[in-house]
Amino acid sequence: MERKKIVERDPRREPVIRTRALTKRYDTLTAVDALDLEVRPGEIFGLLGQNGAGKTTTILMLLGLTEPTSGQARVVGLDPARHPREVKRRVGYLPDAVGFYGGMTGRQNLRYTARLNGLKGKDAETAIDEVLHQVGLTDRAEDRVETYSRGMKQRLGIADALVKSPDILILDEPTTAIDPIGVVEILDLLRTLVNERGLAILLSSHLLTQVQSVCDRIGIFAAGRMVGEGTVTRLASLFGDGSAIIDVGLDLKDPVGKQRAEGVLAGLASVETVTRPEARSDLWRLTVKPASEEANVRQAILAAALEHQLHLTSLRPIVPSLDDIYRTALERRGMADTAVGRGAASASGRSAA
């Protein structure tokens, strides 16, 4: 009898965070409602939602700091409610308000964290030197933390989370109240950590532009529910109008040539409209419908430019704004007013963020 071949799955690609129908209720308020979530090694997953959406409550359940009302969570294969200490050893956590001893230096604060995690002596110093280098604080390591800027404290917070060599980083609003340059530095650091360490990062934020710039996948969270999940492209497909946008740059000087080019582009299959952005005389914007034909239309543009000598200078699909996707997602789920109301409520009373 022929034996079946056993195909082993790569454990490094198995989700390090997985929830199924995870729910948390406070009296009549459902803070998290039947959440299904997966985060894999080597990716940054953005949990996007307004204040009061349920993001921080989700994080607290993943860390074993509060128990779910129902459903299941697994973090590195462990139930956080039953094994909170082991989960905390494997997960680095940066809350939205980082707390350090201001009168101690950055290095001294990291030594304290290392000691709490069982690291001592040479092993601790080696780990501390490494994380200080990774977050760019080697030159300020001997300065008291009270002299650090908000951005530097956030970077020290990431170093603090990394010193125990975790499998996962969970960051709750890591760029709030940081200047634009500091934000770029933090986001670049996160991408470097994923590339160099293969970490999984769960990033909770309400800042759409920042989430879009750094996250591999995004979960749109509102009123305790996940209303959409995937890459920005997939979310655009889920919550878009079924069309795609392509910008075409052409180096054409005379009006006749431009008019001819517009006719050629408008005549391509699946091109619904051709418009000219007012700020650019060399740009044509094509609306393609259905969106699934976008790649074929790009190929057709290349062929048409060659055939009609259109002097093509650029060709790029336009990724929809996450702001538009987010707004549409809430409207389609009938949750826009609910999400705003919960955000206002959390500002005045107990927050389910």
Residue 105 lies inside a defined structural domain of this protein: yes
Domain boundary among 237, 258, 277: 237
Q: Which domain holds residue 166?
A: 11-237
Q: Are residues 249 and 152 in the same domain?
A: no
Residue 145 is classified by DSSP as: G
pLDDT tens for each residue of 144-180: 999 999 889 999 999 999 999 999 999 999 888 788 8
Q: Are residues 292 and 229 in the same domain?
A: no
Residue 51 lies inside a defined structural domain of this protein: yes
Q: Are residues 26 and 168 in the same domain?
A: yes
What's the number of domains the chain is made of? 2
Listing DSSP states for 10-40 in one string gives -GGGS-SEEEEEEEEEETTEEEEEEEEEEE-
Q: Are residues 15 and 141 in the same domain?
A: yes
Domain boundary among 182, 209, 237: 237
Q: Which residue has the tokens 């740059």?
A: 249
Q: Are residues 136 and 153 in the same domain?
A: yes
Q: Are residues 146 and 15 in the same domain?
A: yes
Answer yes or no: are the C-beta atoms of 329 and 280 closer than 8 Å: no
Which region holds residue 76: left if phi is over 0, alpha if psi is between -120 and 50, else beta? left
Q: Are residues 210 and 263 in the same domain?
A: no
Structure token digits, residue 165? 């060599």
Q: Are residues 72 and 105 in the same domain?
A: yes
Domain boundary among 205, 237, 269: 237
CATH of the domain at 229: 3.40.50.300
Residue 279 pLDDT: 64
Which region holds residue 27: left if phi is over 0, alpha if psi is between -120 and 50, else beta? left
pLDDT tens for each residue of 251-300: 998 889 999 999 999 999 999 999 988 767 789 999 999 988 999 999 99
Residue 128 lies inside a defined structural domain of this protein: yes
CA gap 52, 60 in Å, rounded: 14
Label residue 304 exposed, middle or buried (CB < 10 Å: 0-12, 13-18, 19+): middle
Q: Are residues 232 and 246 in the same domain?
A: no
Residue 6 pLDDT: 37
Q: Are residues 197 and 250 in the same domain?
A: no
Sign of CA dihedral 85, 88, 94, 100: positive
Closest CA to 106 of 148, 77, 69: 148
Per-residue pLDDT of the chain (353 residues; tens, 9 = 90+): 343 333 344 444 789 999 999 999 999 999 999 999 999 999 999 999 988 899 999 999 999 999 999 999 999 999 999 999 999 999 999 998 778 999 999 999 999 999 998 998 999 999 999 999 989 999 999 999 999 998 899 999 999 999 999 999 999 998 887 888 888 888 999 999 899 888 999 999 998 888 998 999 999 999 999 999 999 888 988 888 888 999 999 999 888 999 999 999 999 999 999 998 876 778 999 999 998 899 999 999 999 999 999 999 999 998 888 888 898 888 887 765 444 444 433 333 333 34
CATH of the domain at 300: 3.30.70.100
Label residue 330 exposed, middle or buried (CB < 10 Å: 0-12, 13-18, 19+): buried
Q: Are residues 69 and 128 in the same domain?
A: yes
Distances, alpha carbon 287 to alpha carbons 6, 239, 247, in Å = 48, 16, 9
Answer yes or no: are the C-beta atoms of 52 and 352 closer than 8 Å: yes
